[in-house]
Structures are given as structure tokens and as C-alpha cells.
Structure 1
Amino acid sequence: MTESYDALLLLSFGGPEGPDDVMPFLRNVVRGRGVPDERLATVAEHYHHFGGVSPINGQNRELLAAIRADFAANGLELPVYWGNRNWNPYLADTLRQMREDGIRRTLVFVTSAYCSYSSCQQYKEDLAKAHAEIGPGGPETVVLRRFFNHPGFIEPHVDAVRGAYASLLPARRAKARLVFTAHSIPSRMDAQAGPGGHLYSRQLREAARLVAEEAAPNAQWDLVWQSRSGPPHVPWLEPDVNDHLQAIVADGVTDVVISPIGFVSDHLEVLWDLDNEAKDTAYKLGLGFARAATPGVDRRFVEMVRELVLERTSGSEPRALGTFGAGPDACTESCTVALLGR
């Protein structure tokens, strides 16, 4: 299908850019959930560990510049805007600017590769809220498809895993365990996602399999979870990465390669939960530890954004690895059920 659009919107989560931003940002993230400031203060310390600055906004600025440069180099005359859900530049402000610039129809690239309520449907809800806030005349927004199995996402992860293995002592590489991590979500949310359920975890397991088969075909690998939040009585996907490291040491594993397959860039949850907490756990257990990079502004990842745009604007053939095929154009309420009463 060939369709006409006059812009691309880079839509991301957002993050604080100074100590005074941290608590207001966290209140934005949990707005409407009744989370007290006392609980947020614990998470706030993670940001203060890095001077109150989340790296995600800087990473999105780099991605924005890389996409614009790639579009220009390949003759794709499409302006690229950037908006966030939870911090400046706020999504509503970006849509308002697009309206003032005469943008009438825009594609939206969400910086999340997988289908779940929080990583997909919630972005659509935020788009609707932003439209309601700015009133009539805002640009029509069409979200690009999920890209968990696109070569432009998988191949950078493959090279990153290979690089992490290369950083281990040569005599210990062959027996190192490969551990993929992703953001945990409530178990009920995952169970109710998609036809047959568990769409989020199935997509992640497929992406992990694709990377493992190319990067370390003889390695044993696992998919585990990180960054759990929410009340303790609500079950979330397990095991946690730190618990898993303890379990594999008991099995005799001496080295581990951690690949944050659930993420597109090294934002705070990667730096804190893996480079700080998981690395510290590994050190205490005597595990050799290597953490693979995320795609960031890898050339192939940036080119993937252009390919996703051309699928909609010029009908180019979608590319996807493995057996899942090209992901849905956008998550729907039927495949991403929110957790009620959280």
C-alpha cells in the first residue's frame, strides 16, 4: 500500500535532564496510579547516581540527527520531529509545533520494538491525549509497525553480543552463558497479550533466538527480566536477572554475557540495572561479566527507520527475520491489555 505523509515523529519515553527534574518526571510517569512520593524517592536515587540526568534524551537527540542525515543522504524529503511521553519535548508541544508548521499527516516511530500495553498501546493513548490537549487541526498520526525481528534491529545486537564475548578471557568464552534481558511487565498483562497470549514474551524470545543463533550458536542462552516495579503482591515476569545470576552460578557457570535485547539504547535502566546492579551481583558471585551494547545509532538501525517509512510511503517489501513475519502496523487493545487495579 502506498500512502502519503508529510513528516515523521520520533516518539519516546523521555527523561530528566537535571536534579530538579527527577521527581516531577517520575510523577509524570506514574500519574493516576496513586504511587506515593516515598516510593518514587527510591527510583529517584538511581537518577541522582548519574547527576539527575537520564541519558535517554541525549540518545534521542543523536538518533534524531542520524535519521535526518540518513533521510537527506537518501533523498527522502520528510521533516523529522521529536516528542516524549513524560518530559520535554512533550508530545503535545511537538504536535502543536507540527500543526503550526502545516503538517497534516505524520508517521510515528516509537522507540520500542515489542508489543505490550506499556511499550505500545500506552503510546497510542498518549497520542490521543495530546491531540485532545491541543484541540482541532493537529496532524493525523499513524504508528509504524513493531520491529523486534527486523534485520536493522537484530544485526546490531548480534555484533554487540559477539563483541561482549570477545571481551572475555579467551579460555573461558566457549562456556560463557548468554543471558538476554528485557523490562519485566505484570504477568497478567503478558498472558492476555495477543492471539494465544504472551505476545510480548514470545516476541522477545524470538528476537533472543535470532541473535543467539547468529552470535553464539553453541552457547546456552536464557531470557530473563529486569526493572520490575509496582506493588509486591502483583506477579511480574520472572526470573529477575540478579536471581538468575545466582542460579547459574549454582549450576557451575563461570562467565556471563548480558544482552539487553529489550532495549534500543543504553538508557538509565540499562546503565543502572545491568551495569550497576547486575554487574555488582556478578562480581560478588565471582562471575566473569560482559554486557553487550544496544543498537543506539548503529547505521543499520537508523536505516531500518527509513525502511519502515518506505513500507508505508512507497509500498516497499517489509523485511523480517525468523518465523513471525513482519510485525503488526501498531498494537491494538486486543493484543495489549492493561493491568486493571494496579
Structure 2
Amino acid sequence: MSAETSKSAVLLLAHGTPDMLGEMAEYLGKVTGGRAMPQEVVDELQHRYAQIGLKNTPGEEAPPLTKWTMIQGYLLEQALGTGKVYVGMRNWHPYIADVVAQMRADGVTHIKAVCLAPQNSRTSVGLYRKAVLEAATGIEVEFVAGWAESPLLADAFAEKLWPVWAEACAEAGQRVPVLFTAHSVPCRTIMTGEASVAGARPGTPVQDTPDPYPVEAKRTAQMVGERMAAVGFHEKDWYFAFQSQGISGGPWIGPTVEDTLKAIKAEGHIGVVMQPVGFLCDHVEILYDIDIAFRHTATELGLKLWRAESLNDSAVLVEALVDVITGEYKATVDEVMIPA
């Protein structure tokens, strides 16, 4: 396709979240690929979402994940200045398929798709890839599979971490450790073989290398810690854990936050700062899991818990996304594909 006839656009991809409590069962069905969740799981998730403000009726404002993702798309569009930036969700409105259909109607012939999950898991990120390719028949797709080592991403997290770490150390009267986190995934998804096929075309050979997700998540944390060295932060000042293990059964990767908080207490600390480096904005895994559940656990252990502010509308995050899209930062990118 010639440069004269092609029209490129950016598609940001996110998980999606329900708009009302009554949509929880339908939403969870999207997350699980149609597998019904036990009613107690639906009830528990409704409880958690209610704790962060979701109602049984449409609210005046979108849920945090939707709101902040749309804002990030708008800010990126302004920063690029080259046309519309589209936002598609895998598990709720606006669905990826519907957004790609709109892109086709708008004349887009080349999509650069970027997951707002910087660390690449062939299963979770692979599901985004699959959704895009299924919808984008006849459109060129350049899929960014991972950007965990973006220097500007690490800068954005460090910018949010420094003030709260300084505050925590001053208030505690001693050095306070930082606990970096990323979302846990089922153990089967990082094993060789099964984890390699999500989103692959029929006939694609199964890869025999481990899924990169755990390594990339810890690498992002390490890079944030390295940036904090300028203010006296040491390698021994941070820990890493995987949070928000599923409640529907099956083994998930760890260590868990709960076990890590116990270890931090056992080492004699009186407080901890948490920063989730696998999430780019506020949503239930931050506003409930950290701010409510983990804070309660910490209190029971005799620890005070502080949390770094989420990136949300961070200008440095937007710069990081610009670098990923323009190629200034060499992200992990699939070759350009034209789905049949």
C-alpha cells in the first residue's frame, strides 16, 4: 500500500471494567471467555467494586479505569498531533472489535496497537493481539507486545514514588522499604508451551521459551529503583510481589503481597510504601486491593502502608507512549500483519 493511500492511526488497548454493579456477571464472562463464575465470586467482586464507588445505576463519571484510559488516549492524541488516537477495551465497552470497525469506517488502513500493560505476557497480551487481528481483516496491524524497559516509563513511576517515599521515611523516622507489584497471572500462563499460543495464527509453532512476563515486571521495578538512587535509594530498599491472585481457583504466581508484608514486618520494619508498576492508572486492583485490603493486612501486622500515586494523567507517561509509537523507544513489536 503506497504512502499516498495509507492512513495510520494508534489504537490503545486496555482491560475494560463494568459501568454498573449489575453488569458484573456479564463482565466476568468476558474476562473468562464465556466460563460462568460461581455466584460467590460475582458477589465478592461486586462488593469490591462497590467499595471503590461503583453503583447499581449509571454514574455521572465513568469508572476509574475507563476514565483514566480515555484521558490517556486524549493526552496522547494531543501530544502526537497526527490524528485521532482510538481506545479499545478487551472485556467491556468500547470493545476492541467495535473500535476497529470505527477505524475502518474512518478510512484507517494501518493500525499501531499498544497495550496499556507494558510487561508482555504471551497469554494476557496475546489475547489483546488476538482480538485486534480478528477484527482488523484487511488492515495492516503493527502490534506493540511489550515496552517494560522504556526509560520514560521508569521515569514516570520514579516521579510518583520519590515524594511518598520521602514522606514515609520522614514520618517513620527510619528508612521505609518499597514494595513494587504487578498483577499475578495463573502459573500455567508463564509455562512453556500452553502460554505461547494465545493470539497465534493457526499453524504457528508453539514456542519453547518461558513467558517473559515475570522477568519484565521485575525489570521495570529495578529500573525505577535505579532512578531513585539519586535520592539515596538502595537496592536493598525494595521488594517485589505479585498481587491480586484470582479468587476462582488454580495456582497463581507469587510471592504474594500478603506473604511479603509478613516478611517485611519480620525484618523489623514499621512501614512500607507500595507502588504497582504493572498498572498505568487507578482501578479496582489499586483502589480496593491496595488501598483497602492490603492496608488492612498491613495494619494487622503493625505496619503503616503508604502508596505512590498512580500514573493516571502523567505527562511523563504520555512522553513514554509517544516514544513507543514513534519508534524512539524500540519496543517489542510484531511484524506488520494483514489479517486475512
Q: Residues 27 and 189 (structure 1 numbering): CA distance in 2 closer, same or farther, change over 3 Å?
A: closer
* Correspondences of 1:4-153 after superposition (within 5 Å): 5-52=7-54, 54-72=63-81, 77-131=82-136, 139-153=139-153
What's the counterpart of residue 272 of structure 2? 256
What's the counterpart of residue 190 of structure 1? 190
Please state whether the residue corresponding to 1:175 is helix, strand or coil. Answer: coil
Alignment partners' CA distance in 2, 1:43 and 1:172: 34
What's the counterpart of residue 205 of structure 1? 218
Check conservation: 2:262, 2:301, Cα contact below 8 A.
yes
Identity within the alignment, %: 28
Amino acid at match of 2:333: D
**Cα offset, 1:169, TM superposition:** 4.9
Please state whether the residue corresponding to 2:45 is helix, strand or coil. Answer: helix
**Cα offset, 1:174, TM superposition:** 4.3
Alignment partners' CA distance in 2, 1:64 and 1:71: 11
**Cα offset, 1:175, TM superposition:** 2.5
Check conservation: 2:121, 2:211, Cα contact below 8 A.
no
Alignment partners' CA distance in 2, 1:288 and 1:48: 24
Please state whether the residue corresponding to 1:144 is helix, strand or coil. Answer: strand
The answer to whether 1:223 aligns with 2:240 is: yes
Q: Residues 281 and 309 (structure 1 numbering): CA distance in 2 closer, same or farther, change over 3 Å?
A: same
Alignment partners' CA distance in 2, 1:117 and 1:217: 32
**Cα offset, 1:270, TM superposition:** 1.0
What's the counterpart of residue 175 of structure 2? 175
Alignment partners' CA distance in 2, 1:171 and 1:66: 35
Higher mean displacement: 98-107 or 121-130? 121-130
Show structure 1 runs of 5+ residues with no match. 312-316, 319-325, 332-342
The RMSD of aligned alpha carbons is 2.4
Alignment partners' CA distance in 2, 1:59 and 1:147: 19
Alignment partners' CA distance in 2, 1:52 and 1:118: 28
Check conservation: 1:266, 1:296, Cα contact below 8 A.
yes
Which deviations, in whole Å up to 9, do the C-alpha atoms of 1:141-168 show, x marking residues without a partner?
2212411111221001112221221221
Show structure 2 runs of 5+ residues with no match. 56-62, 196-206, 336-340
Alignment partners' CA distance in 1, 2:248 and 2:74: 39
Amino acid at match of 1:222: Y
Check conservation: 1:179, 1:224, Cα contact below 8 A.
yes
What's the counterpart of residue 332 of structure 2? 328
Please state whether the residue corresponding to 2:168 is helix, strand or coil. Answer: coil
Please state whether the residue corresponding to 1:10 is helix, strand or coil. Answer: strand
**Cα offset, 1:327, TM superposition:** 4.1
Higher mean displacement: 117-126 or 194-203? 194-203
Report runs of 4+ in structure 1 exceeding 6 Å deviation: none
What's the counterpart of residue 265 of structure 1? 281
Amino acid at match of 2:144: L
* Correspondences of 1:267-286 after superposition (within 5 Å): 267-286=283-302
Q: Residues 5 and 152 (structure 1 numbering): CA distance in 2 closer, same or farther, change over 3 Å?
A: farther
Check conservation: 1:17, 1:52, Cα contact below 8 A.
yes
